């Protein structure tokens, strides 16, 4: 077993800074961000910050199933879309005769739960299998859901979409997204250190081995996907509220999935702090370099993805950091040894 | 009754096309273990090439097939040498990510080159003939017979030639194939060339029957996956059978379920896939290699 070769290193006590340094930095950063609106900032700056928070949240969720568990999810936007549409339907229409129109706060948990239910029912079928079924099934679910949303015209408005009541409150949006991001990233930090997170890593590195050690792999994968889907659904619901308009094309956007994948890859696949770092880098690149070349945006992202996988699969954190402390590195070193 | 026969015929014709469309995907997966998420985008590339030749040289799509096949063979050969060879020994994670990146790059490259406007290839004979009260669309019938021809040729190549033997050997056991002196890199590159050429050829063949746009590829990738799971990796009769099942189901649903129309194909193939996975998680038949093999 490969795991045993490093067992001596792993049992050594990590230094205090290594163990808690990331979290302390993260809390300091959150504190600063909570005070940020009190400095003189414009609405646009708050809005961009909210977008970055959203990217961090989405990418962290994707990273939980894609990076830590090793099950690449090419349709994660479907949970975002389902959340957005649940918000849209519950707020603007009364789908059931007895149910009145709901407010934002009432619709929010329902949107998250519906995304979670979808994830559980899909994962129950596709996650029992090893291999690539999950990836393709998610890609299919993404495309199929977009079709179905178009067909269900009375409920979803079809291609014409739905208009939500416009409530412009940049400050409230900023704090809401900051809170969601804080919850998501902190939970992932906690998951990464818990038995549950270690089991996920074990599944990624050697699924059969993990099963033999008594880990219920299907259940673990399912729970990871469910958590990721729930928070993605919440984010989608929020996005629908913020954007005040949804239709199948703006909600089920393929580039959103690409950005989640790219952010995680760029920062460091399977790491806790990779997605936040990757989101900041990606957002800066997009705004500085590509804002003039809007047409080439996705082409450049696609090519960048190929180059990242081939030449820098460990991401920025892996390149910078202590290689042994990042779990993904071991996997990558194994790839390189085989070549 | 006529309506049923009509739907059955349309389903059969569509199924024949699906059978040839899926071959590239299925053989690439079977021989190299690469799941090519850019499959549909190579099909789109072929369709655009046919459109380009039709517009500039007024060349019939079925004649330009003769040019497109060798051209895309070279593209596939180069792709294998440059990109895919680096992925063979890596876990599926890397393969999926790279082909996904390739898919996005290809689709958006075509969007930049030709804009997102849908194009079509209006051939002169794009009508249909009546046979016993059933109308037979001419172009789709031609596509069907070309598909059968391509499938038979590939079958002969794989089963009857030394190259085919080498490809099958490489699929079954790479190391043993190396030991008996098969140049594995060359065999892989030729296989990739054949697969990409077949896929682009299928795209060129259907260019007269449907609108061509940069993002048309993804549904084909998804359908190809379902059909491959149905029919087995690299099994040509399986591909034809799986294609028929999907094609007929798709047309029947469009005909008999009101309010859905023809744009339900992806959802349908997904449902089919989920049903197969529930009933037989190991896939229906194995073909060139076991379907549930995990390489990571």
The 3-class secondary structure across B228-241, one letter per residue, is HHHHCECCHHHHHH
Distance from CA of B288 to the nearest CA of A (A): 16
d(CA B62, CA A33): 62
Is A272 inside a domain boundary? no
Distance from CA of B184 to the nearest CA of A (A): 15
Give the pLDDT score at A244. Answer: 83
Digit-by-digit pLDDT tens for chain A (339 residues) are: 344 444 444 445 556 666 777 788 888 888 888 888 788 777 788 888 888 999 999 999 999 998 888 888 888 999 999 999 988 888 887 666 556 677 778 788 888 999 999 999 988 888 877 667 788 888 888 888 888 888 887 777 777 778 887 776 778 888 888 999 999 999 998 998 888 988 888 888 888 888 888 888 889 999 999 999 999 999 999 998 888 888 888 888 888 888 888 888 888 888 888 888 889 888 888 777 666 677 777 888 888 888 888 877 777 777 776 554 455 555 555 555 554
Q: Determine the residue of chain A that is closest to B104 in CA distance.
A: A302
Say whether B130 sits in a helix, a strand or coil. Answer: strand
Q: The domain containing residue B83 runs over which residues?
A: 2-116+143-279
A245-246 and B134-137 strand pairing: unpaired
Distance from CA of A172 to the nearest CA of B (A): 35
d(CA B130, CA A76): 47
Is A302 inside a domain boundary? no
Q: Determine the residue of chain A that is closest to B222 in CA distance.
A: A140
CA atoms within 13 A on the CB side of A52: 19
Task: Report yes or no: B105 at the A interface, CB cutoff 8 Å.
Answer: yes
Q: Which residues contact B211 (CB under 8 A, 6 or more apart)?
A: B118, B119, B120
Contact A306 B98 (CB under 8 A): yes
Q: Which residues of B touch A315 (CB under 8 A)?
A: none
Q: Determine the residue of chain B that is closest to A305 in CA distance.
A: B101
Query: Among B83, B219, B273, whose Cβ lies nearest the Cβ of A143?
Result: B219
Length of chain B: 296
Among B227, B16, B268, CA closest to B136? B16
d(CA B184, CA B187): 5
Query: Among B92, B101, B219, whose Cβ lies nearest the Cβ of A302?
Result: B101
Give the pLDDT score at B261. Answer: 62
Contact B294 A313 (CB under 8 A): no
Contact A261 B98 (CB under 8 A): no
Q: Which residues of A touch B230 (CB under 8 A)?
A: none
Give me A60's structure tokens.
Answer: 């962290």
Which residue in B97, B229, B265, B290 has the most chain A C-beta atoms within 10 A of its own C-beta, making it the best mutation to test that interface?
B97
> Are the beta carbons of B217 and B275 closer than 8 angstroms?
no
Give the pLDDT score at A125. Answer: 82
d(CA A292, CA B12): 49
**How many other CB atoms are there within 10 angstroms of residue A15's CB atom?**
9
Query: Among B37, B96, B266, whose Cβ lies nearest the Cβ of A147?
Result: B266
Among A102, A5, A65, A56, CA closest to A279? A56
Give me A233's structure tokens.
Answer: 């659904």
Furthest-apart CA pair in chain A: how many Å? 63
Give me B46's structure tokens.
Answer: 């072929």
Give the pLDDT score at B137. Answer: 82
Task: Report yes or no: B277 at the A interface, CB cutoff 8 Å.
Answer: yes
Query: Among B101, B264, B270, whose Cβ lies nearest the Cβ of A140?
Result: B270
Q: Residue B60 sits in a domain of what CATH number?
A: 1.10.3470
Task: With residue A245 as reference, give the H or E element that holds it.
Answer: strand A245-246
Give the pLDDT score at B131. Answer: 75
User: B141, exposed or middle or buried, with CB in 10 Å at 0-12, 13-18, 19+?
Assistant: middle
Q: Determine the residue of chain A that is closest to B268 in CA distance.
A: A144
State the DSSP string of A277-315: HHHHHHHHHHHHTSTT-GGGHHHHHHHHHHHHHHH-TTH
User: A226, exposed or middle or buried, with CB in 10 Å at 0-12, 13-18, 19+?
Assistant: middle
> Are the beta carbons of A28 and A153 closer than 8 angstroms?
no
B134-137 and A162-163 strand pairing: unpaired
d(CA A256, CA A245): 17
Q: Which residues contact A263 (CB under 8 A, 6 or more apart)?
A: A55, A56, A58, A59, A62, A275, A278, A279, A282
Q: Which residues of A touch B37 (CB under 8 A)?
A: 74, 136, 139
pTM for this entry: 0.82
Is B158 inside a domain boundary? yes
Say whether B212 sits in a helix, a strand or coil. Answer: strand
**How many other CB atoms are there within 10 angstroms of residue A65's CB atom?**
27
Which residue pairs, CB below 8 angstroms and at least 24 apart, start in A272-275? Answer: A272/A22, A272/A185, A272/A188, A272/A189, A272/A192, A273/A22, A273/A26, A273/A317, A274/A63, A274/A67, A274/A315, A274/A316, A274/A317, A275/A56, A275/A59, A275/A60, A275/A62, A275/A63, A275/A185
Distance from CA of B36 to the nearest CA of A (A): 10
**What's the number of domains chain B is made of?**
1
Which residue in A73, A75, A139 has the most chain B C-beta atoms within 10 A of its own C-beta, making it the best mutation to test that interface?
A139
Give me B227's structure tokens.
Answer: 């059909």
* CA-CA-CA-CA torsion sign (B170, B92, B39, B108): negative
Give the pLDDT score at A61. Answer: 93
Is the complex ipTM higher than 0.85? no
Give the pLDDT score at A30. Answer: 85
**Crossing angle of the two packed helices A195-205 and A327-338, in degrees rounded to 10:** 10
Distances from the Cα of B127 to the Cα of B3, B49, B240, angstroms: 19, 23, 25
Distance from CA of B167 to the nearest CA of A (A): 22
Contact A133 B277 (CB under 8 A): yes
Is A227 inside a domain boundary? yes
Contact B278 A125 (CB under 8 A): yes
> Are the beta carbons of A265 and A59 closer than 8 angstroms?
no
Distances from the Cα of A84 to the Cα of A118, A159, A181, B150, B151, angstroms: 14, 15, 17, 45, 45
Q: Determine the residue of chain A that is closest to B265 in CA distance.
A: A144
Is A181 inside a domain boundary? yes
**What's the number of domains chain A is made of?**
1
Residues of chain B where predicted confidence (pLDDT) is lower than 70: 92, 258-263, 280-296
Q: Determine the residue of chain B that is closest to A205 in CA distance.
A: B296
Is A289 inside a domain boundary? no
In the beta sheet, which residues pair with residue A163?
A245
Among A213, A142, A339, CA closest to B270? A142
Q: The domain containing residue A205 runs over which residues?
A: 42-254
Is A320 inside a domain boundary? no
Contact A125 B94 (CB under 8 A): no
Contact B96 A339 (CB under 8 A): no
Q: Determine the residue of chain B that is closest to A269 in CA distance.
A: B93
Is A315 inside a domain boundary? no
């Amino acid at each position: 077993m490969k795991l045993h070769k490093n067992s001596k290193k792993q049992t050594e006590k990590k230094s205090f800074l290594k163990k808690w340094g990331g979290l302390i930095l993260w809390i300091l950063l959150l504190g600063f961000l909570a005070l940020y609106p009190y400095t003189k900032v414009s609405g646009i700056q708050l809005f961009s910050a909210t977008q970055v928070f959203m990217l961090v949240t989405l990418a962290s969720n994707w990273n939980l199933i894609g990076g830590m568990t090793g099950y690449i999810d090419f349709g994660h936007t479907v949970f975002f879309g389902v959340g957005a549409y649940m918000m849209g339907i519950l707020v603007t229409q009364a789908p059931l005769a007895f149910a009145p129109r709901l407010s934002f706060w009432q619709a929010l948990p329902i949107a998250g739960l519906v995304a979670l239910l979808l994830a559980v029912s899909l994962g129950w079928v596709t996650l029992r299998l090893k291999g690539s079924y999950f990836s393709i099934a998610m890609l299919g679910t993404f495309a199929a859901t977009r079709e179905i949303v178009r067909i269900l015209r009375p409920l979803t408005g079809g291609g014409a979409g739905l208009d939500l009541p416009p409530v412009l409150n940049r400050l409230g949006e900023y704090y809401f997204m900051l809170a969601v991001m804080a919850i998501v990233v902190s939970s992932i930090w906690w998951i990464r250190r818990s038995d549950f997170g270690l089991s996920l890593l074990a599944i990624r590195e050697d699924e059969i081995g993990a099963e033999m050690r008594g880990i219920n792999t299907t259940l673990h994968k399912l729970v990871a996907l469910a958590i990721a889907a729930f928070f993605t659904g919440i984010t989608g619901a929020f996005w629908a509220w913020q954007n005040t308009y949804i239709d199948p094309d703006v909600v089920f956007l393929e580039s959103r999935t690409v950005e989640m994948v790219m952010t995680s890859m760029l920062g460091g696949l399977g790491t806790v702090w990779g997605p936040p770092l990757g989101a900041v880098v990606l957002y800066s690149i997009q705004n500085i370099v590509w804002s003039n070349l809007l047409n080439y945006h996705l082409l450049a992202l696609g090519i960048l993805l190929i180059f990242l996988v081939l030449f820098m699969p460990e991401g920025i954190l892996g390149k910078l950091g202590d290689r042994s402390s990042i779990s993904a590195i071991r996997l990558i070193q194994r790839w390189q040894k085989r070549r | 009754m006529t309506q049923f026969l009509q739907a059955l015929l349309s389903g059969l014709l569509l199924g024949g096309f699906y059978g040839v469309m899926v071959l590239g995907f299925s053989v690439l997966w079977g021989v190299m273990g690469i799941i090519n998420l850019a499959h549909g985008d190579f099909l789109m590339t072929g369709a655009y090439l046919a459109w380009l030749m039709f517009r500039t040289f007024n060349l019939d799509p079925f004649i330009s097939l003769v040019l497109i096949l060798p051209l895309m063979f070279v593209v596939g050969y180069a792709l294998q040498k440059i990109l895919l060879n680096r992925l063979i020994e890596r876990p599926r994670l890397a393969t999926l990510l790279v082909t996904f990146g390739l898919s996005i790059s290809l689709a958006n490259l075509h969007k930049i080159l030709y804009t997102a406007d849908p194009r079509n290839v209006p051939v002169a004979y794009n009508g249909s003939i009546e046979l016993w009260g059933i109308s037979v669309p001419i172009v789709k019938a031609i596509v069907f017979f070309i598909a059968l021809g391509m499938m038979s040729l590939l079958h002969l190549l794989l089963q009857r030639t030394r190259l085919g033997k080498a490809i099958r050997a490489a699929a079954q056991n790479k190391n043993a194939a190396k030991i008996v002196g098969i140049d594995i890199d060359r065999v892989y590159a030729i296989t990739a060339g054949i697969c990409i050429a077949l896929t682009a050829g299928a795209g060129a063949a259907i260019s007269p029957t449907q609108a061509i746009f940069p993002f048309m590829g993804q549904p084909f990738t998804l359908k190809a996956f379902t059909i491959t799971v149905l029919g087995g990796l690299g099994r040509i009769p399986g591909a034809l059978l799986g294609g028929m099942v999907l094609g007929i189901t798709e047309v029947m649903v469009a005909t008999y379920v009101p309010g859905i129309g023809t744009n339900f194909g992806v959802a349908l193939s997904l449902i089919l896939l989920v049903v197969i996975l529930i009933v037989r998680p190991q896939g229906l038949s194995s073909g060139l290699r076991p379907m549930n093999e995990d390489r990571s």
